[in-house]
Amino acid sequence: MEIELAKVDSIIAKHGTDQRALTSLLLEIQDEFHFLPQAALERIAEKMQVPAIQVYQVARFYKAFSLKPRGKHLISVCAGTACHVQAGATLVEKVGQLLHIVPGETTEDEQFTLETTNCPGSCPLGPVMIVDGTYHSRVTASQVEQIIQQRRAGKEATLHD
């Protein structure tokens, strides 16, 4: 995949090449490209003058980072304890059935990526599902379908309990 290295360079210039900047740097690269392209990781290693494996290791280790391209819409279902005991797992199944993907996968049309998150800290309103940064609380399996349909139609869902 071809990426604009100029964008990578300007992000590197902003954060500097000290190793302590690596996490912030990778987070911003991911914001830009929705994942961490290999060419960007190699560029960072070159500028930081560290072996590429060192950058790859960090990119591979932390949960925030994805080395695979992600879809246009990111669906995160909370798999935290409070949501889990309130049947959060059925939401993952429901999304999976509707989109034919399991957590970590992206739909063939590159529209949706499904992920589970450990806990976004909205426990009193679980089960919680976050779609493109919008929190949906006390989500039921039937609402999942509605939320996805609205996203597909390009509308921001405004569903609450």
Partner 1 sequence: MTRLDTAAELDKHRETILQARSTAPRRITVCGGRSCATQSDGLQTALENALKQSGLAAQAQVVVTGCPGFCEQGPLVVIGPERILYTKVTPTDVPEIVAQTIGQKAVVERLLYQDPQTGKRIVHESDVPFYKEQHRLLLKDNGIIDPTQIEDYIAQGGYKGLARALAMTPESVVQEIKRSGLRGRGGAGFPAGLKWETCRQAQGDVKYLICNADEANPGAFQDRSLVEGNPHSIVEGMIIGAFAIGASEGFVYIRHDYPSTVEIMQQAIQQAGEWGLLGKKILGSGFDFDLHVHLSAGAFVCGEETALIASIEGRVSEPVPRPPFPAEKGLWGKPTNINNAKTWASVPHILSHGADWYAKLGTEKSKGTTVFSLGGKINHAGLVEVPMGVTLRHIIYDIGGGIRGGKKFKAVQPGGPSGGCIPENLLDLPVDYESLTAAGSMMGSGGLIVMDEDTCMVEVARYFTDFNRVESCGKCTACREGVRQMHALLTGITTGQGKAGDIELLEELGQALKDGALCGLGKAAPNPVLTTIRYFRNEYEAHIRDKQCPAKVCYQDAAGKE
Residues that bind partner 1 (CB under 8 A): 18-24, 26-27, 54, 57-58, 61-65, 79-82, 84-86, 117-126, 135-137, 160
The pair phi, psi for residue 116, each rounded to 5°, is -110, 150
Residue among 48 and 148 whose Cβ is closer to partner 1: 48
R_g (Cα) of the chain, nearest Å: 18
CA distance 98 to 79: 19
Instruction: Give the number of other Cβ atoms within 10 Å of residue 31's Cβ.
Output: 9
CB of 36 to partner 1, least distance (A): 11
We find the least distance from the C-beta atom of residue 122 to partner 1, in angstroms, to be 5
Of the pair 76, 106, the CB lying nearest partner 1 is at 76
Alpha-carbon torsion, ordered 139, 155, 66, 20, to 10 deg: -100
Region for residue 140 given its phi and psi (left: phi exceeds 0; alpha: psi -120 to 50; beta: otherwise):
beta
Q: Do 125 and 119 meet the contact criterion of CB atoms below 8 Å apart?
A: no
- Shortest approach of partner 1 to residue 159 CB, angstroms? 11
- CB closer to partner 1, 136 vs 148: 136
Task: Between 23 and 111, name the residue whose CB sits nearer to partner 1.
Answer: 23
How near is the Cβ of 48 to partner 1 at its closest, in Å? 9
Give min distance, CB of 109 to partner 1, in A: 26
Between 4 and 97, name the residue whose CB sits nearer to partner 1: 97
